[in-house]
Amino acid sequence: MIDFVNSAHSVKSINPNIKAGFALSVITACVIFKEPLGCVFAMFVMWLIIIKNVVKNDGLSNHLIRHFMLFPILFIALSSFMVSFDITDCGEGIFSVKILDGYFLTVNSEGVKKAVRLFFTSAASLSSMCFLSLTTPVNDIVYVLKTIKCPKEITELFILIYRFIFIVLNMAQSIITAQNCRMAQRTFKTRINSMALMLSSVFVLSYNKSVFIYNAMLSRCYSGDISFLNVKYDSSKKYVLFAVLIVFIIVLISVLERVY
C-alpha cells in the first residue's frame, strides 16, 4: 500500500535526500534529548505533512491512520507501560504489589518518567519513519543509498529483495488458494502439512524465479552492475530551510524543557 500512496502525492517530487535527511535528523534529535515536548512537536509536524500532502490527496485517511499510527502507537504504549514497572525489595512508590517473599512489583515516579520519555521518543521516531515511507518510493530510497555511497552490492540486494517480497508473497498466496481448494484447512494436521508443503514449494519456486530473472537481466546486457536512472527532483532551498528550522525548533524545545 505504501507504494500506491507513494506514487501519487506531491511531496514525492522533493529530493529524497532532503526528506531522508530531515527524517533522520528529527529521529536523532528526539533520541538524543528524549524530551516529551520536543517529541510531541516532531510528531505534530510529521503528521501535519502526512495529512496535508498524502492523506488528503489520496483519500486514505482511515486506512492510513489505522495502519501507520494506531497499531504501532498501541504497541509502543504497551511496551512503555511495562517499562514503568520495577521489581524491588522495599515496596515504595506510587503503586506497589507484593509478588514474592520480600519482593514487590512497584511503579515509582522515575519509572513513569522513563516510560513517558520512551513512549514519546518512540512515537516521534515512528512518525518520522512513517513520513519517510509514505513520501519516498523505494527507487528514491535507492537514490539516497547511492548518494551516501552505500556499497553497490547492498543497493542491488535491496532492490532485488524488495521485488522478491512481492513475487514470494504472490506465489505463497497462489499455493495457499490452491491448497484451500483441496481441503488443506480441514484439520490441524492437514493445516501444518499444507504449510510445510507451501514453504518448501515457495523456496524451490523462488530459486527458479531467480534463475529466470537473472537470465532476463543477462539478455538486457547485464554485466554485473545494476545501473539506475537518475530522476530529476525538486531540490529547492526552501525545503532544506524548512527541515533545518524544524530540527532547530525541536532541539530548542528540548533544551528549554531540560533546563526548566
Residue with Cβ nearer another protein (190 or 206): 206
Strand partners, 97: 105
Among 148, 219, 237, 238, binds another protein (CB under 8 A): 219
Is position 233 an interface residue for another protein (rule: CB under 8 A)?
A: no
Closest alpha carbon to 36 in 131, 127, 116: 116
Task: Identify each DSSP E strand in 48-166 by its residue range.
Answer: 85-88, 95-100, 103-107
Asked whether the CA dihedral 50, 251, 37, 94 is positive or negative, the reply is: positive
Is position 204 an interface residue for another protein (rule: CB under 8 A)?
A: no
Among 47, 162, 233, 242, binds another protein (CB under 8 A): 162
Q: Which three cell numbers stand for residue 77?
A: 504504549
Stretch that binds another protein, among 41-49, 84-92, 166-174, 196-204 (CB under 8 A): 166-174
3-state secondary structure of 15: coil
Among 189, 230, 237, 238, binds another protein (CB under 8 A): 230
**d(C-alpha 39, C-alpha 127), whole Å:** 10
Is position 159 an interface residue for another protein (rule: CB under 8 A)?
A: yes
Is position 62 an interface residue for another protein (rule: CB under 8 A)?
A: no
Is position 75 an interface residue for another protein (rule: CB under 8 A)?
A: no
Q: Which three cell numbers stand for residue 113?
A: 518518567
Give the binding-site size for another protein (rule: CB under 8 A): 34
**d(C-alpha 103, C-alpha 91), whole Å:** 7
What residues make contact with another protein under the rule CB under 8 A?
A: 3-4, 6-7, 12, 137-139, 142, 159-160, 162-163, 166-167, 170, 209, 212-213, 215-223, 226-231
